[in-house]
Structure 1
Amino acid sequence: MLPSGARMLKVAAGLLAAALVALLLDWYSPSGPPQQLLQGRSFAPEPAPGAEANNLFWLVQVSDLHISQFRGPSRSSDFEKFCTETIDIIQPALVLVTGDLTDAKAKDDIGSDQIEVEWQTYQTVLKRSKVMEKTKWIDIKGNHDSFNIPSLDSVKNYYRKYSAWHKDGSFHYIHHTSFGKYSFICADATLVPGPKRPFNFFGILNANQMEELSLLATESHDSNHTIWFGHYPTSTIISPSPGIRMVMRSATAYLCGHLHTLGGLMPVLHTQHHHGTLELELGDWKNNRKFRILAFDHDLFSFADVNFEEWPVVLVTNPKPSLYSSSAHEPLQRILHSTHIRILAFSPSPIKCVKVSIDGIHLGEAFQVSGPLYVLKWSPQSYSQGFHQINVTVQDDTGKSTTQHHSFTMEENLSLKFGLLSSWILLADHYIWVRVVFALMVIIQIAFLIIFRYLGRPLLKGPLTRAMQTSLSLHILSKTNFFYYFFLLLSLYTVLGPWFIGEMIDGHMGACFSFGIIVDGHFFQGSLTFLIGILQVMFFNIPLMAYLCWCLLLRCQGNCFGSHLYNVKRYHSVPVHLTMVVLFFWQVYSCFFLLQTYGAMAFFLSPLRTWIVGLTLFVVYRSWTMKSSTLRIFTAQMKNNQSS
C-alpha cells in the first residue's frame, strides 16, 4: 500500500494529466467557435435555396504546382490539361493558385535557385491554354518561388515577369455578383529577401504587414463573405500580436497549401479557428494532382477536394456539412427554410442520373436546372432534429459514378469535432513549441554536466548496476576538465552560434544562428532553425556525450580501445559503435548538404557542421588515449571495488 500522501499525490497528478488532455482536446479539436468569442452578423432567412439557378457561384483552388526543369515532366503537361479541359468543364468564376508555382530546386535536389525555364513553362501553359480569358486567374508566391531572391526588384524575381497576377505582397480582390460582393484577401508571408532553402519554410509577417492586413480586413466588412488565402498554413506563419488568426477572424475560410498532405500521412488537413474561420489546407498538385472546388450558394459556403481526372465531380451545396458550418459567418437558418436539395455535378460526359438519399432512404433523382446545378424538392422540417446523413450518387453516360456523403443538422447547438492531429498541425504555433523543446533539451544537457561536475564522487560497493554505471560514467565525464568544457562549450555554441557564415543568397552574405538568420542586413527570427537545432542536439550532441561517457567508463574498468571488444560482450559494444558511426556520418552528410546549398565558404566557416566533424574524431581519440588525474582516481576506485 502507498502512504496516504503518496496516494493523494498520485491522484492529483492523474487529475492534472486528465485536465491537460481535456484542454488539448478542447483547444485542438474545435467543434465550432465558442459563442462568447463571436460577434456574428445577422442574416435574413431569405433568400433560401430553391429550384432556381440564382445566388450561386463557384471557384477553384489549386496549390503547389512545383513545375520543374529536372523532375516530374507530367506536372506541367497535366497542368496544361487541367487549364484546358478541367477548367472548361467546371467553368469557375475564379481560380486561386496558392503558391509554389515552380520547384526552384537544383538538379541534385539539394541546392535551390530561381530557374527561368520553369517560369517560362508556367507562363507558356497559361498562354497556350488561354485560361486567363476563361476565368479570373490569381496566382501567388510560395516559399519555393522566393528561393534565392535578394529583393523584389531583383531580375531573379520571375514572379513579376511570368505570373498572371504579377503583384508582390498582400492584396484585396473583390468579386462582384448581382447578389452581392465577395472579398478575397491574400496574406503574403513570403520572406523578403528570400534565402535559399530550407530557411524560408516558415512565413513571417512584420508589424507593417499586419497593419496592412488589418486594413484589408476592415475593407471587406461589407462583403457577403470574405475568403483569405495564402501559401502558408497559419501554424507556419510568425506574426506579431495579436496574431494572424485574430486579424482574419471575420473570414469565412482561409485557404492554403504548403504541407503537401505531409507526404501522404495527412491527406485531409482541415480545422476551424476559435473565432469560426475554417482553415483548409489543400493537397499538392506536384505529386497528388489535387484541386478544390468551392461554392457560395445563397451565401452557404461549401467545398470539395478532388483528384485530377476523377469524374464526375460532386459538390452538395444544400444542405451543407455541419462539420464545416459556422453560424457566425453563414446564414445557416436558410437550410431550414430551403425548398430543394442543391447539387453541383461536373463531368466531361453528360450526366445520366443524380440519386439522392437521406439516412438510407431514397428520395429520388435530382433534375438539372441550369449548367451543373441539379435540385430535388425536399422537406427540411423532417430533419429538424439531430444529425442526418445525405448520400448523393452521380453517374455520367460513360458509366463512371461518384458518391458524396456528409452529415448535416438543423440545430445550431449540435456540432462535430475536427480530428485532433490535423487541428494540432494547423492550429499550433509550431515556431513556439520548437523553441521550447530546443531550450529544454540544451538546458537538460548542461544541467547534467554541471550537477555531476559538483556532486561528490560516488562510493562504490559491490557489483555495479546499470543505473550505477550510468551515474558513474556521467561523474567521470563531468569531472574530467577536457570533456566537461568541450560539451559545455558545444551546448552553449549550439544555442548562441553562428552555425555557419556564407552566402545565404547568391552574392549576399549572411549567418545562421539557432535563434534566426541574418542575411544582407535583415534578421529573420528563428523557426526552422530551432527544429534543426533539436535534431542536432537529439541526434548528435547528446549521443556523442553518451558515447564518450560509455568509452570513459570502459577505460576506468581497465579496457583499452582494442581489448574492450573482447573483454566486453560484443552484442553490447558493436551496436554502440555502429550507432555512433551512423550518427557521425549523418553529421558528415549535413556538411555535404551545406556545401551543396550554400557553397564552399559556408562549408569552411561552419563550426557546428564542418568543424565539429574533426573535433569529434579528436575527442573520441582523446577518450581512449588521454591520461588525467580524474581518470586515474576513478580507475583506482573501480579496481579497489572489484578486488573487495
Structure 2
Amino acid sequence: MLRLAAGLLVAALAAVLLDWYSPSAEQKAPKGRARSFSPQPAPGAEAGNLFWALQISDLHISKFLGPERASDFEKFCMETIPVIQPALTFVTGDLTDSKMKDKLGSDQFEAEWQTYQTILKKSKVMEKTKWIDIKGNHVLPSFFGRKYSAWQKEGSFHYIHSTTFGKYSFICVDATLSPGLKRPYNFFGILNATYIPLDESEKVNLLFQNKMQELSSLAAESHDSNHTIWFGHYPTSAIISASPGIRMAMSSATAYLCGHFHTLGGLMPVLHTRHHHGTLELELGDWMDNRKYRILAFDHDLFSFVDVIFEEWPVVLITNPKPFLYSSSAHEPLQRLLHSTHIRILAFSPSPINLVKVSIDGVHLGDAIQVSGPLYVLKWAPQNYSLGFHQIEVTVQDGSDRSTTQLHTFAMEENLSLKFDLFASWILLTDHYIWVRTVFVLLVALQIVLLIIIRYRRKPTLKYPLGRTMQLSFSLHILSKINLFYYTFLLLNLYTLLGPWFIGEIIDGHIGICFSFGVFVDGHFFEGSTTFLVGIMQVAFFNLPLMAYMCWCLYIRCQGHCFSSHLYHVRLYWVVPIHLIMALLFSWQVYSCYFLLKTYGTIAFFLSPVRTWIVALTVFLFYRAWKLQSSMLRTFILEMKNYQSS
C-alpha cells in the first residue's frame, strides 16, 4: 500500500513538473485573450513610455517585538521613497504583527496600527506616491485597518493607473478569512463566499457574493489595458479557490505580486515562477526580518523588476533588454527588443550617479548617459545578439563610492527555453491544501487498516533468526490482540480524522469548534487547510510513534521483563534512547497543550481530546502496558518462550 501510494505521488509530481517546464505551456496565450502587439514604439533614447512602481510586504509592525521594524520603515518612507519616486506603492499585507509578547497568542493591538498610521502621516509618503495597502493573514475581527490604513476599501478591487501612453490595471486579490481566525489556522486564504453587512447595526442581514465571480468581473474590466498586474498577500498555492481556480482567473495578467512566505525562513530567498498561461508569480521576501522591497517597471510595455534590500545603494534595474526568464510573448511585445535602439537602465541613489558601465558577454560597450531622472541609456545594435543567449552586465557607481552590479541573461529568439528553480516552482504552483489533505488521510487510514488487518490475521510464525520485520509483526500482533490497546488506537485514529479536536475561542468572544476538515465559528464554516497540516504533525510525531512505542513495551513484557528489569538488561542497549525519544515527543505534546491554552483560551485547553486528553491517555497506556497482568499476556509469553527454546 505504501509503495503504491508513493508511486502515485511520484508519478503525479513528475507529470506536474513536466507540465511546468514545457516551453509551450510557458508561452500559451490565455483563452479569449490572444493579443497581437505592434513592434513600435520600441525602446530608444527618449524618456517616455516608462513608469515604475514599488512593492513591499509583511511589515509586521509589533508592539512587543523588533522595534527596528517600525523605525526602519519610517526611514524607508522618509528617505527611500523620495529617491525612487514610484508612481505607485503596493504594501501586500501583514502591516501589523498582531502577536502577543510570547509569540503564541494573537490579538489586534490598536497601538500597532497607530504606529503604522503615524509613520505614513509623519513621512507624508502618501503625497509622494499612490499608496495602496491591503490586509494579510494577521488580521482578526477587531480590524483597525479601515481606521488606520491608507487604502480603506474592503475586499478585492481594481485600480487603474492612467498614463499618456495607456492604461495599466492593478487588481487586488483579497483571500483573507472573514471573520479572521486566530493563528495558526489563518495561514491559508480562501476565495469562496464573503459577507457584507447591509446595515452596520444589523449584522444578521448579510449579502453573499462569490469572490471568484467578483475577480472574474474585475479581470474582464481590465481587458483594454496595456497590462494587468494582480497582487495579493497569499501566493496562489496558499489560496483555496473554487473551480476553475485562482490561476485561471488571473491568466490574462502579466504578473501576480504577493508575499506571505517570508522566504521560508531564509531557505528560499527567491520564490519566482510562471503559471501555465504565462503569468509570472513573484513572491517578495518580507520586510520583517529581511528588509526587502521590489521595484517594477513598464518600459514600452516590457515588464521588468528587481528585488532589493533596504539601504543597499545604488539600486539598478535594466529595463531593456529584459531578462529572458521573465519574458512572455503572451503578455508583452517582445519584438520591440529587436527594434530597440538603446539599452535602458534605471539607477537610483541618494548620492549622484557617477558611472553606469555596460558590458555584454564580457565586452565593454561603453558608459550609459543620463536622459531624465534615473533613466540612463546607451546606443546598441540588437541585431548583433539575435541568436542564442547573452548576458548583460551593468555596474553603477555613485558619489559615495558605493557600487552595484546587476546582470541577467537575455535573448531575442522566443523559441528558446530557461527554467525556474524546481523547488520554488513546486512551492508556488502546488495547491498545498490538497496534498496535506491527502497525506493526512493516508496516514490515518494506514494505521486503521494496519490495526484491522493484524487483528484478524493469523498469528505470525516465529522463526530463527527473529529479524526486525518479524519483531515488528509480532509486536503489532500483541497490541492488536489486546482489546484495551486495539480499541484505544482504533478510536484514537478515527477520532483524529472525524471528531472535534477542540472547542475554544477561535475568535475573541466567539466559541468555535475545530475539526480536521474545517472550523465552525460564529455561524461560518472555514474549509480545512492548515488543520490538515496540524493533523499530519499530530499523527506523524505523536499518534504513530505512540502506537509503535506501546508495541515495543508489550514486546518487552512478553520477553519476561518488567519496567525495572528491562532497564538493566545488557542486550537491550537501545532501551534508553527509545524512552528518551518518546519522552521528547511526549514533551512536544504537552507543549502543544500549552500553545492551545495561550492561543485559544482555557476552554480549549480542557475541551481538547486531541491535545490535552491524549496526554492523560498516554500516561494511562504507559501504566497499563507495564502493569498489565501476566495472565493477559500468557499466550504471547508462551509463543516467545517456544521460540527461544527452539
Shift of 1:21: 6.6
- Matched residue, 2:369: 367
Q: 1:185 aligns with which of 164, 168, 171?
A: 171
Q: 2:225 aligns with which of 201, 223, 226?
A: 223
Shift of 1:403: 0.5
Q: 1:633 aligns with which of 623, 632, 635?
A: 635
Counterpart Cα distance in 2 of 1:22 and 1:576: 37
- Matched residue, 2:328: 326
- State the secondary structure of the residue aligned to 2:54: strand
Q: 1:612 aligns with which of 611, 614, 638?
A: 614
In structure 2, the CA distance between the partners of 1:96 and 1:363, relative to structure 1 (3 Å rule), is same
2:9 aligned with 1:23, yes or no?
no
- State the secondary structure of the residue aligned to 2:303: strand
Shift of 1:467: 1.5
Letter in 1 for 2:174: D
Counterpart Cα distance in 1 of 2:529 and 2:314: 42
- Matched residue, 2:147: 161
Further displaced range: 590-599 or 560-569: 560-569
Counterpart Cα distance in 1 of 2:394 and 2:384: 18
- Matched residue, 1:133: 127
Shift of 1:226: 0.3
Counterpart Cα distance in 2 of 1:335 and 1:445: 59
Further displaced range: 33-42 or 181-190: 33-42
- Matched residue, 1:96: 90
Shift of 1:623: 0.8
Counterpart Cα distance in 2 of 1:523 and 1:408: 49
- Matched residue, 1:588: 590
- Matched residue, 1:485: 487
- Matched residue, 1:4: none
- Matched residue, 1:336: 338
- Matched residue, 1:60: 54
- State the secondary structure of the residue aligned to 2:295: strand
Shift of 1:420: 0.5
What value does the CA root-mean-square deviation take over the aligned residues? 1.8
Shift of 1:642: 1.7
In structure 2, the CA distance between the partners of 1:461 and 1:74, relative to structure 1 (3 Å rule), is closer
Letter in 2 for 1:132: M
- Counterparts of 1:393-412 in structure 2, within 5 Å, are 393-412=395-414
- State the secondary structure of the residue aligned to 1:160: helix
In structure 2, the CA distance between the partners of 1:598 and 1:14, relative to structure 1 (3 Å rule), is closer
Letter in 1 for 2:473: S
- Matched residue, 2:526: 524
Q: 1:438 aligns with which of 437, 440, 447?
A: 440
Q: 2:181 aligns with which of 170, 188, 195?
A: 195
Q: 1:46 aligns with which of 40, 44, 50?
A: 40
Shift of 1:91: 0.4
Q: 1:69 aligns with which of 63, 77, 88?
A: 63
- Matched residue, 1:298: 300
Q: Number of paired residues?
A: 626
Counterpart Cα distance in 1 of 2:638 and 2:254: 73
Letter in 2 for 1:322: F
- State the secondary structure of the residue aligned to 2:143: coil
CA contact (8 A) 2:294 2:307 kept: yes
Alignment deviations for residues 88-138 of structure 1 (CA, whole Å, 9 cap, x no partner): 000000000000000000111110000000000000000000000111000
Counterpart Cα distance in 2 of 1:60 and 1:522: 36
Counterpart Cα distance in 2 of 1:267 and 1:458: 52
Letter in 2 for 1:26: L
Counterpart Cα distance in 1 of 2:244 and 2:267: 31
- State the secondary structure of the residue aligned to 1:287: coil
CA contact (8 A) 1:30 1:271 kept: no
In structure 2, the CA distance between the partners of 1:466 and 1:15, relative to structure 1 (3 Å rule), is closer
Letter in 2 for 1:185: I
CA contact (8 A) 1:595 1:602 kept: yes
Shift of 1:16: 9.8
- Matched residue, 2:25: 33
2:345 aligned with 1:349, yes or no?
no
Counterpart Cα distance in 2 of 1:22 and 1:595: 42
2:114 aligned with 1:120, yes or no?
yes
- Matched residue, 1:565: 567
Further displaced range: 217-226 or 33-42: 33-42
2:531 aligned with 1:539, yes or no?
no
Shift of 1:567: 2.2
Counterpart Cα distance in 1 of 2:467 and 2:230: 61
Shift of 1:160: 0.2
Shift of 1:37: 5.3
Shift of 1:570: 4.8
- State the secondary structure of the residue aligned to 2:573: helix
Shift of 1:368: 0.3
- Matched residue, 2:215: 213
Percent of paired sites with the same residue: 73
Counterpart Cα distance in 1 of 2:293 and 2:631: 69
Alignment deviations for residues 594-626 of structure 1 (CA, whole Å, 9 cap, x no partner): 000011000000000001100100011101112
- State the secondary structure of the residue aligned to 1:563: helix
Counterpart Cα distance in 1 of 2:576 and 2:502: 33
CA contact (8 A) 2:20 2:275 kept: no
Alignment deviations for residues 133-190 of structure 1 (CA, whole Å, 9 cap, x no partner): 111000000011x13x1xxxxxx22000000001110000000000000000000000
In structure 2, the CA distance between the partners of 1:22 and 1:500, relative to structure 1 (3 Å rule), is closer
CA contact (8 A) 1:300 1:317 kept: yes
Counterpart Cα distance in 1 of 2:34 and 2:362: 35
Letter in 2 for 1:67: I
Shift of 1:640: 2.1
Alignment deviations for residues 72-95 of structure 1 (CA, whole Å, 9 cap, x no partner): 111111101110110000000000
Letter in 2 for 1:189: A
CA contact (8 A) 1:30 1:417 kept: no
Shift of 1:546: 0.4
Counterpart Cα distance in 2 of 1:14 and 1:378: 54
Counterpart Cα distance in 1 of 2:611 and 2:571: 33
Alignment deviations for residues 463-518 of structure 1 (CA, whole Å, 9 cap, x no partner): 42222111100000011111000000000000012000011111101011111111
Counterpart Cα distance in 1 of 2:428 and 2:509: 36
Counterpart Cα distance in 1 of 2:81 and 2:379: 29
Counterpart Cα distance in 2 of 1:112 and 1:18: 38
Structure 1 residue ranges without an equivalent (≥5): 1-9, 150-155
- Matched residue, 1:422: 424
Letter in 2 for 1:206: N
- State the secondary structure of the residue aligned to 2:277: coil
Counterpart Cα distance in 1 of 2:432 and 2:6: 27
Counterpart Cα distance in 1 of 2:17 and 2:498: 36
Letter in 1 for 2:472: T
Counterpart Cα distance in 2 of 1:294 and 1:44: 22
2:99 aligned with 1:105, yes or no?
yes
- Matched residue, 1:3: none
Letter in 2 for 1:194: G
Structure 2 residue ranges without an equivalent (≥5): 194-209
Shift of 1:262: 0.4
Letter in 2 for 1:593: F
